[in-house]
Amino acid sequence: MALITTKEMFAKALQSDYAVGAFNVNNMEIIQGIANAAKEEQAPLILQVSAGARKYAKPAYLMKLVEAAILDTGLDIALHLDHGEDFDICKKCVDDGFTSVMIDGSKYEFTENVRVTKQVVEYAHAHGVVVEAELGKLAGVEDDVKVDARAATFTVPEEAAEFVAKTGVDSLAIAIGTSHGAYKFKGEPYLDFERLKEIHKLIPQIPLVLHGASTVLPEFVKKCNDYGGDIPGAQGVPEEMISEAAKYGICKVNIDTDLRLAMTAEVRKFIAEHPAEFDPRKYLGPARDAIQKMVQHKIRNVLNASNTL
């Protein structure tokens, strides 16, 4: 049992049209809930850490917690840097023992994105670490632009093929209409499946990554709002769309918001219903259980990755 790269898990997922869940982790309860779920479902697992998570929990704690999850569950787990903003943070994570890093050069023009991605690929590959890059921009609904205008930021299939050839990157995050957070669509949810199919046709061997893939499950939004929250009009990517995307090369599905909502809903409920309680274990325990249940549901019914180890 060890930290592993995503190479083998993506190769299997690509072949069999399922997707691997990549879940953002920030503390012990989140890691335990997710790892327990993957164990129960016998599914491949990517735990990912953002710059914000590193700042919040400190790298050493996160690394030790992930190692503990491997020990406790007996699973192999890939540890991935989410949205690395430059070469330096990617290098740090490679040096710290991560098995996968994302260099997010999507803020740059094509040529600069290629340059910085190539630099990370060279360093990471020399150390046995795989690299995810991003091409295209994830527009948020808060940008308040129409679908046509949003589409202008989507990944161009021919550029995706050129980008992969020029950088040697192992997987590619693409923009087809998703965005981060709890407010992804104002009206009907829309993903550009024709674009996804075209990209997959041009680079069928490259595992594609879907960021902003939370569904913003209504039951958790309702529970948050019922117990004092204020999250009006939250909307995510319908689960059927995620399952569909896995048929066209999406091998890694990034989920953070659904974890946050599941956890917050349970904490709000417990605290509202038990005003005299002040033992954190009393509310973090149910929060951890809610994460496990939600992640098992994703793995089994949305990603179709149960029993694929």
Instruction: Pick the stretch among 112-120, 210-218, 234-242, 290-298 that binds Zn ion (CB under 5 A).
Output: 210-218
> At CA 297, angle to CA 82 and CA 198, rounded to 5?
55
Number of C-beta neighbours around residue 302 at 10 A: 23
Does 260 interact with Zn ion (rule: CB under 5 A)? Answer: no
Site size for ligand 13P, by CB under 6 A?
Answer: 14
Helix (H) or strand (E) holding 236: none
Q: Which is nearer to ligand 13P, 29 or 82 (CB)?
A: 82
With a CB cutoff of 8 Å and minimum separation 6, the contacts of 143 are 150
In whole angstroms, the minimum distance from the beta carbon of 134 to ligand G3H comes to: 11
Does 5 interact with ligand 13P (rule: CB under 6 A)? Answer: no
Q: Which is nearer to ligand G3H, 24 or 243 (CB)?
A: 24
Helix (H) or strand (E) holding 9: helix 7-16
Does 83 interact with ligand G3H (rule: CB under 6 A)? Answer: yes
Both tokens of 199, joined, read 């990209």
Helix (H) or strand (E) holding 284: helix 280-297
**DSSP E strands: which ranges in the chain?**
20-24, 46-49, 78-84, 100-103, 130-135, 171-174, 208-210, 250-255
* Angle, helix 28-41 to helix 257-273, in steps of 10 degrees: 110
Does 14 interact with ligand 13P (rule: CB under 6 A)? Answer: no
- Tell me which residues in 129-168 interact with ligand 13P (CB under 6 A): none
Does 106 interact with ligand 13P (rule: CB under 6 A)? Answer: no
53 binds, among ligand G3H, Zn ion, ligand 13P, none (CB under 5 to 8 A by kind): ligand G3H
Which residues are annotated as catalytic? 82
Among 19, 38, 53, 169, binds ligand G3H (CB under 6 A): 53
Instruction: Pick the stretch among 17-25, 38-46, 247-255, 260-268 that binds Zn ion (CB under 5 A).
Output: 247-255
Does 50 interact with ligand G3H (rule: CB under 6 A)? Answer: yes
**DSSP E strands: which ranges in 52-162?**
78-84, 100-103, 130-135
214 binds, among ligand G3H, Zn ion, ligand 13P, none (CB under 5 to 8 A by kind): ligand 13P
235 binds, among Zn ion, ligand G3H, ligand 13P, none (CB under 5 to 8 A by kind): none
Site string for ligand G3H, 165-184 (x = CB under 6 A): ---------------x----
Query: Could you identify the residue written with the tokens 């995503």?
Result: 6
213 binds, among Zn ion, ligand G3H, ligand 13P, none (CB under 5 to 8 A by kind): ligand 13P
Q: Which is nearer to ligand 13P, 190 or 279 (CB)?
A: 190
Site string for ligand 13P, 72-91 (x = CB under 6 A): ----------xx--------
Q: What is the DSSP letter of 86?
A: S
Does 200 interact with Zn ion (rule: CB under 5 A)? Answer: no
Q: How far apart are CA 164 and CA 69, in angstroms?
A: 33
Q: What is the dihedral of CA 181, 182, 188, 192, to 10 degrees?
A: 20
> At CA 16, angle to CA 11 and CA 21, rounded to 5?
70
Count the residues in the chain.
309
Q: How far apart are CA 185 and CA 189, in angstroms?
A: 6
Q: How far apart are CA 11 and CA 30, in angstroms?
A: 27
Does 256 interact with ligand 13P (rule: CB under 6 A)? Answer: yes
Enumerate binding residues for Zn ion (CB under 5 A): 211, 254
Enumerate binding residues for ligand G3H (CB under 6 A): 24, 50, 52-53, 82-83, 180, 256
